[in-house]
Amino acid sequence: MLNKNYIIGGVVILAIIVAGAVFFSRDNSSTPDASVLERGVKNLTRESAAKMIETALKLDPFSTGKTIRYSYDNQRGHQTLGGYIQSSDPKLQMMEKLVDEGFVENIGAQKNQYGGDYYNYFVFDFTDKATPYFTKRDNASLDDKSVEVLLAEVQSVEVTGLTEQAAEGGLNTRTADFTATYKATPIGAIIDEKIATAPFKWKAKFVLYDDGWRIAQ
């Protein structure tokens, strides 16, 4: 999808969007149809490129830092923050806010019995109020009980630059510099509003096919 040459440390952005990679658990009519990315655009302008990139970002929020993952504690049957959490850890204060707002309940914790200011474990459950903001990767196994929560949703995409057509590896390509703006979800505003609403700037590579331009696979 996005040009891997631009990706620091090998992080792949929008890696699986064309196959309809993401399943959103919430019933949201604004969730885009992945099939639109399988159809080429004859005239690739900044506006048409921005629409395609916006669709791609909505289908793959994972690699943009706009989700957070909570593992599942199989032994205790709840989501977990992990073991050995200090009582002063900001994640605990965030969890209290999620409880106050009705997104989390059934918190269970055990203080270290040998002394020290930390918990041996800290587990919790999300409520039905939180489930509209769950998102799951397409390659997640059916028995995977971890939860990924959407911190923000794409509001707009602006293409700030679009290269002329050039030959690369036997393909005709163009590259779009873009900036995506985000609005925090109610959970994202509690967990980390600064990260949730931070603009995302990157480059998207387009390849010319017989039916027009598509985001590169």
Per-residue pLDDT tens for 57-85?
998 999 899 999 999 999 999 999 877 88
Q: In one letter, which amino acid is 130? A: A
Rounded Cα gap, residues 73 and 83, in angstroms? 10
What is the band of 115 on the pLDDT scale with cuts at 50, 70, 90?
A: low
**Rounded mean pLDDT, 136-144:** 82
Rounded Cα gap, residues 175 and 182, in angstroms? 22
What is the band of 123 on the pLDDT scale with cuts at 50, 70, 90?
A: very high
Note the pLDDT of residue 141. 82
Note the pLDDT of residue 135. 92
* Residue 17 pLDDT exceeds 60: no
Note the pLDDT of residue 130. 98
Closest CA to 66 of 167, 178, 148, 158: 148
Note the pLDDT of residue 191. 94
Q: C-alpha 88: how far from its chain's center?
A: 28
84 vs 206: which has the higher pLDDT: 206
The CB density around residue 189, as the number of other CB atoms within 10 Å, is 16
- Decide if 38 contacts 45 (C-beta within 8 A): no
**Rounded mean pLDDT, 131-151:** 89
* Residue 110 pLDDT exceeds 90: no
11 vs 144: which has the higher pLDDT: 144
47 vs 10: which has the higher pLDDT: 47
* Residue 22 pLDDT exceeds 60: no
What is the band of 151 on the pLDDT scale with cuts at 50, 70, 90?
A: very high
Using a pLDDT cut of 90, give the percent of the chain over it: 61
To 10 degrees, what angle do helices 186-197 and 90-100 make?
140
Note the pLDDT of residue 46. 98
Note the pLDDT of residue 33. 75
Rounded Cα gap, residues 165 and 197, in angstroms? 33
* Residue 173 pLDDT exceeds 70: yes
